Amino acid sequence: MAYEIKLEHRTARIELLNRAGSKVLLAVDDRKYELDVVMVEKGVYSILYDGQSYNIELIEGDSGKEYIVNTNARSFNAEIIDAESKYLENRMLGTEHEGENEISSPMPGKVIKIPVSEGESVTAGQTLIVVEAMKMQSEFKATADRVVKAILVKEGDTVNSHQVMLKLE
Amino acid sequence: MAYEIKLEHRTARIELLNRAGSKVLLAVDDRKYELDVVMVEKGVYSILYDGQSYNIELIEGDSGKEYIVNTNARSFNAEIIDAESKYLENRMLGTEHEGENEISSPMPGKVIKIPVSEGESVTAGQTLIVVEAMKMQSEFKATADRVVKAILVKEGDTVNSHQVMLKLE
Amino acid sequence: MIRKVLVANRGEIAVRVMRSCRELGLMTVGVFSEADRKAMHVRYADEAYCIGPAPSRESYLNIDNIIEVAKKSGTDAIHPGYGFLSENAAFSDRCKQEGIIFIGPTAHSIATMGDKITARQTMTKAGVPVVPGTTEKITDEKMSMKIAGEIGYPLMIKASAGGGGKGMRLVREAHEMLPSFRTAKSEALNAFGDDSVYIEKYIESPHHIEFQILADRQGNVIHLFERECSIQRRHQKVIEETPSPLMTPELRDEMGKFAIAAAKAVNYEGAGTIEFIVSDARDYYFLEMNTRLQVEHPITERVVGVDLVKEQINIANGLPLTLKQDELQQNGHSIQCRIYAEDTDHNFMPQPGTVTHITVPLGLGVRYDGYVYEGYEIPMYYDPLISKLITWAKTRPEAIARMRRALYEYKITGVKTNIKFLEKIMDIPDFINGNYNTHFIEKNNDRLTVSKVCGTECEDMAMVACFIDYLDKIEKIQPQKFTEEFASTWKDFGRKRSVLRL
Amino acid sequence: MIRKVLVANRGEIAVRVMRSCRELGLMTVGVFSEADRKAMHVRYADEAYCIGPAPSRESYLNIDNIIEVAKKSGTDAIHPGYGFLSENAAFSDRCKQEGIIFIGPTAHSIATMGDKITARQTMTKAGVPVVPGTTEKITDEKMSMKIAGEIGYPLMIKASAGGGGKGMRLVREAHEMLPSFRTAKSEALNAFGDDSVYIEKYIESPHHIEFQILADRQGNVIHLFERECSIQRRHQKVIEETPSPLMTPELRDEMGKFAIAAAKAVNYEGAGTIEFIVSDARDYYFLEMNTRLQVEHPITERVVGVDLVKEQINIANGLPLTLKQDELQQNGHSIQCRIYAEDTDHNFMPQPGTVTHITVPLGLGVRYDGYVYEGYEIPMYYDPLISKLITWAKTRPEAIARMRRALYEYKITGVKTNIKFLEKIMDIPDFINGNYNTHFIEKNNDRLTVSKVCGTECEDMAMVACFIDYLDKIEKIQPQKFTEEFASTWKDFGRKRSVLRL
C-alpha cells in the first residue's frame, strides 16, 4: 500500500511495508521507519519512533482525503493524493485560479451590508460585502477592477464557512 | 409510542404525546410533562422542566434495553420493558433464581487461587475462588453447603466483568 | 439575604459566577438565547430559561425578558457578569424598581463613569490625575484648534460616548488636526448618535495598568493592587499579569490611594476597576472606571487570595467588608492568557465552529475558567473568548515557565485558536524581561507570525498519522470487503432486532 | 546538572512529575508496561519506552529493564514517584552504581526507615517519641507475655518487615495474647518471609498526622508543616487536609522539630514524610517515615506555596535549600480527595474498566491531578487511584464548600467511583466540625451508605432520558424504515466511493 501525501508545500510517498498490531514498518520516500502507532482518542494519534513520543491530532476535511494536522510545534494542511487528485491537479494547472473570481467567507457569520449591486463596476479596494461574526465586522474588498457578476446572498443572511457570497467577472 | 420502564424497584409507563425538535410532551403514568430534552454530549442529556435544569448521564448496557442512569443525586439501574422482557420476567418468577448456583466476578481481574476442585463438597463460608484486581484480592465464598459442579476458569486466567467462573449444584 | 441568583450572562463568566454561588449555597438561575440551549451555563444552573433569539439585542440585552424570568423564578438578585448589561445604568435602576438586588453599583455610579467627559470632570474634582486635555465637550472647530495648541501634539481626539476605538483619532501634527476632528465627529455621530468629542494628550508607549477595588455600602473602600494589561491586540487584552513588572512599592501605594479616591468620588459600591494609563517614565493618569467584574479578575483572586464574586455578593447583601487594606498582600505572581477562537495569521479573525477535541491543562498552579466541551458548537453571535488560563508561582519567571507548560498541554481541535500565538509570547525576550507596553504585539510581530519549527522527522510523523488514518478508513469501506460487510449489515440488523424485539 | 529525567512510574504521579520537569526545561523519559501503551504519561513524555508485560513485577518493578532504558536514552536522573521502586534501597544503590542520580534518599536512609524495629531504635536514640513497646524483635512466647504485661493492654502486634495490615493483630485482653502472637508470626512469615514481630501500645481513637520535610546534602533540614490523614478506608487514606483541625501552634512547633530530628538521624536527603500517631489528648508518637513523595503532597504545595518536585530535583542537583524555616508559613486551608475506581457499596471493591465520559471540576481554588481521559481503559493491574482533587480557600469552611462544589461538578461515567461517597463526607457534622480520627468512616457508616434522595420528579426525569434515548435508537433501526436505510447504505457507499475513488 502506498500513497503520496502533500503536507503544505512538500509531497512525499509513503509505503506500508509491514504492520502487526500497533507496530508499523513504512517508508517515507527513501527513509524507513519502524514505528508504534496507536489512535488513543478519536483523531488523536500517539506515535513512538525510536523512543520519541509524538502526539498528532487530525481533523478530517469534507472529502475524506484532506486533513488539518496538528503537531506540538505547528499546524499543517495535508492531502492524500491518488489518481483522481492528480488528474484534477493537472487540469487545474492549465486554468486560472478560480478563487479570485469569487468572494467567500472564511468563517460562519451574518451578512451585514452589501454596498454593491449585480452588474456594477467596482474598483480595486472597494468594499463588496461586510460580514459579522463574534462582534467583529470583516469587510471583503475587490482586489482588482472588476464587474459584479452575481450576488448570491442578501443582507441579514447567515453564511457558512467557505460559502461563496459574490462572483466577479 | 409508550414503554414501561423499570427504575430499580419502581416501574412506570411513559407515553410520548407530542414531539417537536427538543420540545417533548409526555406522560409518566398519570403525570404529564412538557419538557425540553437535548443530548448535549454522547449519552449526556440536559432536560429542562418548568425551568428546573436536570443533567442525566446514561451508560447503555449490552442488550440495548438496560441503562445505568446517573442523576446529580444518585445512580440507578433502569430497564426498558417490552413484550419480550415481560414474557421472560413471568417465566422467571416460576423458577429459582439462577444466580445462586453460579459464582461470577463483579469486575475484571485475575484468578489467583482455586482451592476447590470439581465434584468437591463445600460448606457455607468456604472460599471457592480468589480474584485479584488493582492490588486487592477478593475471596468468593459459598453461601450454603453445596457441591462444586464445574470450574470454568483456571489459576492465572484473566476474567471479565460478570464472567461465570464456577457452578454449584 | 440573597438566596437565589440569576446570572444575566453566558460563556465562561456565567459558569464562574454560578460556581461561587454554589459554594455559598445559593440557588442559580441561568438565562439563554435560542443559540445557547446546549451551553454549559444552562447545564450548570439549577434553573434555566430561554430569553429570546440568538442576537444579543433580543436576548442577553433584553431587559424586559430578563426581569420577567427573575420574577417568575423568584430570584432575589441578578449578577450581570461582564459585557452585556453589566454597565447599563437603566438595568441597574430597573432591578431596583422591581425590588431585585442588582449585584453591582447604582445607576448613578454607572452613568457618571460611563460618560467619559463627566468621569474626567469628577476625577479632576476628586484630585485624581487625568490625562491633560479638555474637560468640556467640543463641537467648535476654532475652539478645537486653540485647545490642541495648548495641550500640544501628539494628541488624541475621542468620542465622549465612545468605546471600541470608534470616533478615536491620533493627531501627530497641527496640520492633521482639522481633518481628524471632522472625521472623529462624524464617526461618533454614526456610531453613538452623539457627535461630541474631547481632546487628550497622547501618551507614547503607554502601559495599561488597572487597580481592583472593593467598596461596601458602609463607605469602606479598599484596593486589591494592580493588574498589568498592556498586551493587547485590536485594543483587546490578551495577557494580564500581577504584580506589574513596571510597578514599584511607592507607585503602587500612590496609585492605590487614587483608585480608592476615584471610587469614593462616585459613592461606589461593589467590585470595580480603575484603569490608568502609565508612561514609561511612570507618569500615570486616570483613563476610565469599569463598573463591573473584569475578565482578568482571576489573577487578583490568586495573588490576594480572595473570591471576588463572593465579595460582590456579600456587599450586595449589605454586609461590611471583612478585608482590611493593611492586612492585604500580594503573594507570588499570577498570569492570565485569554484563549480566543480566532485566526492569529489573519488579523485575529474570529472562528466560530464545533470543538471536536479538548485537552485541558491541569496540575499545580493552574486555574482554568472555560465553558466549551467536546462536541460543543461555539456560536457566531457572541464573543470569541473560549477560556482563560491562569497560572501562579512564587516568582514571575516560574509563573511564565508554568504558563508555557500549560499552553503546551492545552489542545483544542475543530476551531482555530490563539494557543500557539500565546506560547510564542512566553518565549519573547521583551515579555520575559517584563519590558513591554501596549505596542508589544506590533513591535514583536515578526517573531509572533513565524511558525515553530517542525523538522523533517516531525513532518514525516504528521504525514504518517494521515496515512494510517486514511488506510484504516479505506479498510472499512473497501469494495472487495463490501459483500461481506453487506452480509453483516443484515446479520447486525437481525441481531439487533432479536435483541430489541421490534 | 540534570537535563533528562526518567520517571519510573505511571498514572497521575508520572504526569505530575513530568509537568514540573517541563517547567524546569528538562527532557522527560516515560516507561510503560504492555498494558499502558495508551496511558497519559506515555503521551506526555518526550520519550517513552516499553519495559515489559503488564504485571508490575515484570515491568515497573523490573530494575534491570528500567536501568537499561535510562542508559539507552541518556538519562541523568530517575524520579521514582511513589509506590513501585520509590522505597527500594537496592534500586537507589543500583542507580548510584550506574552513575545515574536517584531523585530520593540514599539506600542507607531507605533501609533504616524501611525496617520498623531499626527505625524505632534510631528514633529512640534521637530522642523522638515512639509508641511505648519493644525495641527488639520477639520470637519467644514467654518473653512476649512478659513484655505485653509491662506495656499493658490494649496493644498491637506488628510484623517487623510489615506493611498493608499483614501480620498485624490488635490484642485487647491478656488471654488473647498467645493465640494472636502465633497468628501474627505465621502471617508475617507467609507474607514477608520473616516471622519477627514487635509489640506496641495501642492508641485508642488515633489520628494520623504527618510532617513534610525537605533535606539537602548540605545538612539543612526544614519541615513544611503537617497534613491530617485520618480519614481512611481499608487502612488507605481517602481525604487529607492541612492545617490539621487538631493542631495547635505549640504542638506544630514541637512535632515539627521532632520531624527534623528524625530526618537528621538518618542523614536524610530529599523530600520525606514523618508519620505520627496522635491521641485525642494530643499525645504523639513517631509511627514511620516515608522516604519519598506522598500521594497527598499537593495540599502542602498549595498552602506553603512550593513545588515539591522542583525542590526534589534541586536537592538531587546538589543545590542547597533556598527555603528558610522561619520564612515559611501556612496560607489558608487545603483539602485533597482521592478519587478511586471502586464500588463504595461493596467493601470498596476496585472497578477497572473504560471511562466513557468525564467532566473535570475546574475554576477558582481547584487543582486537579489525574491521568485518565475519555475512552481510556483503566487497567486491572495497578492502583485504583484515578485522580486527586485539591481545593484551597482562606478558611477551612470555605475549602469544604469548594470541595463540595467541585465534587458536584465532577462526573465520570463508565466505571464506578467514590465521588458520591466523598460528597457525602463533606456533609457529615464530624467532618465539618473537624472532629474525627481514623475511625471516622466506620463511625459514620450509616450516613455514608445512604443514597442521596432523588425525588419522584428526579426519578421521572431519569426514566425520561432512558425513554428518549431508546426511542431515538429504535428510530434508527425501525423495520419499516429499514428498506429506505438499506437503500441509503448503498447510496452512502456510492458517495464514499466516488469521493475516495477506490
Interchain CB distance below 8 Å, D474 and C500? yes
Edge-first strand order for the sheet with D385-393 is: D284-290, D270-278, D207-215, D221-233, D236-242, D333-340, D385-393, D366-370
Which residues of C are marked as active site?
292
Residue length of chain D: 502
Number of CB atoms found within 10 A of residue C107's CB: 19
Vertex D205: Cα angle to D201 and D211 (nearest 5): 85
C-alpha dist (Å) from residue C8 to C81, C101, C371: 7, 13, 16
What percent of chain C has pLDDT above 90?
A: 77
Residue with cell 482533587: D389
> From its phi and psi, is residue C85 left (phi > 0), alpha (psi between -120 and 50) or beta?
alpha
C97 pLDDT higher than 80: yes
3-state DSSP assignment of residue C68: helix
> Residue A96 has what pLDDT?
43
> Which candidate, D353, D333, D335, places its Cα nearest to that of D343?
D353
Residue C1 pLDDT grade (very low, low, confident, very high; cuts 50, 70, 90): very high
Q: Is D292 in the active site?
A: yes
C-alpha dist (Å) from residue C95 to B152, C10, C113, D347: 72, 19, 19, 53
Residue A154 Cα to chain centre, angstroms: 26
Interchain CB distance below 8 Å, C502 and D474? yes
Catalogue the long-range contacts made by B126-130 (C-beta closer than 8 Å, 24 or more residues apart): B128/B103, B128/B166, B129/B103, B129/B153, B129/B165, B129/B166
C-alpha dist (Å) from residue D45 to A49, B80, D8, D35, D285: 13, 46, 12, 17, 41
CB C313 within 8 Å of CB C214: no
Interchain CB distance below 8 Å, D451 and B78? no
Backbone φ and ψ for C471, nearest 5 degrees, come out as: -55, -50
Task: Examine chains A and B and say if they touch (3+ CB pairs below 8 A).
Answer: no
How far is Cα C422 from Cα C442, in angstroms, rounded to an integer? 14
How far is Cα C302 from Cα D159, in angstroms, rounded to an integer? 47
DSSP string, C98-149: TT-EESS--HHHHHHHHSHHHHHHHHHHTT--B-SB-SS-B--HHHHHHHHH
For each of the domains in chain A, give its residue range(s) and CATH number, in order of start. 2-81 (3.30.700.30), 91-168 (2.40.50.100)
Interchain CB distance below 8 Å, D48 and A84? no
CB D198 within 8 Å of CB D223: no
Interchain CB distance below 8 Å, D499 and A63? yes
C-alpha dist (Å) from residue D310 to C403, D200, D296: 16, 37, 16
Of residues A107 and D28, more confidently modeled: D28
In whole numbers, what is the pLDDT of chain A averaged over residues? 87
Of residues C420 and D493, more confidently modeled: C420
Chains near B with 3+ CB pairs less than 8 A apart are C, D
pTM value is: 0.90
C-alpha dist (Å) from residue D7 to C406, C417, D313: 19, 32, 12
Q: For residue D338, what is the enclosing H or E element?
A: strand D333-340
> Which candidate, D24, D20, D114, places its Cα nearest to that of D105?
D114
Residues of A in Cβ contact (< 8 Å) with D44: 53
> Residue D406 has what pLDDT?
98
Query: To probe the interface with C, which of B48, B49, B52, B66 has the most C CB atoms within 10 Å?
Result: B48
> Residue C204 has what pLDDT?
86
Query: To probe the interface with D, which of B74, B110, B163 has the most D CB atoms within 10 Å?
Result: B74
Q: For residue A94, what is the enclosing H or E element?
A: helix A83-94
D132 prior amide bond cis, ω within 30 = no
Closest residue on chain B to C355 (Cα): B41
> Residue A86 has what pLDDT?
64
Number of CB atoms found within 10 A of residue C182's CB: 14
> Residue D484 has what pLDDT?
44
> Residue A91 has what pLDDT?
57
B96 pLDDT higher than 70: no
C368 pLDDT higher than 50: yes
- Among the listed ranges B32-36, C89-93, C487-491, D476-480, which one has the minimum average pLDDT value? C487-491
In whole numbers, what is the pLDDT of chain C averaged over residues? 91
Residue with cell 482451592: B115
B114 pLDDT higher than 90: yes
Question: Residues with Cβ < 8 Å from D349, sequence gap 6 or more?
Answer: B106, B107, B136, B138, D342, D343
Chain C closest CA to D405's CA: distance in Å?
A: 6
A92 pLDDT higher than 70: no
Interchain CB distance below 8 Å, B33 and D346? no
How far is Cα C242 from Cα C225, in angstroms, rounded to an integer? 8
Question: Residues with Cβ < 8 Å from B12, sequence gap 6 or more?
Answer: B4, B5, B28, B29, D460, D463
pLDDT tens over chain D, length 502 residues: 999 999 999 999 999 999 999 999 999 999 999 999 999 999 999 999 999 999 999 999 999 999 999 999 999 999 999 999 999 999 999 999 999 999 999 999 999 999 888 999 999 999 999 998 887 888 888 888 999 999 999 999 988 776 656 778 899 999 999 999 998 888 888 777 888 888 999 998 899 999 999 999 999 999 999 999 999 998 889 999 999 999 999 999 999 999 999 999 999 999 999 999 999 899 999 999 999 999 999 999 999 999 999 999 999 999 999 999 999 999 999 999 999 999 998 888 898 899 999 999 999 999 999 999 999 999 999 999 999 999 999 999 999 999 999 999 999 998 999 999 999 999 999 999 999 999 999 999 999 988 888 999 999 999 999 999 999 988 876 544 433 444 444 444 444 444 444 3
All cell numbers assigned to D32? 510503560
D154 prior amide bond cis, ω within 30 = yes
How far is Cα C333 from Cα C346, in angstroms, rounded to an integer? 32
C-alpha dist (Å) from residue D413 to C256, C361, D403: 49, 21, 20
Residue A17 Cα to chain centre, angstroms: 29
A87 pLDDT higher than 80: no
Find the farthest-apart pair of alpha carbons in chain C and give their distance in angstroms, rounded: 91
Query: To probe the interface with A, which of D47, D373, D497 has the most A CB atoms within 10 Å?
Result: D47
Interchain CB distance below 8 Å, D22 and C478? no
Find the farthest-apart pair of alpha carbons in chain B and give their distance in angstroms, rounded: 63
Facing D362 at nearest CB: one of C368, C497, C500: C368
All cell numbers assigned to D91? 534500586
Beta partners for B52?
A: B49, C47
All cell numbers assigned to D502? 477506490
How far is Cα D232 from Cα C271, in angstroms, rounded to an integer? 42
Mean pLDDT of C52-75: 97
Of residues B162 and D146, more confidently modeled: D146
Residues of A in Cβ contact (< 8 Å) with D374: 41
Residues of A in Cβ contact (< 8 Å) with D41: none
All cell numbers assigned to C366? 493552574
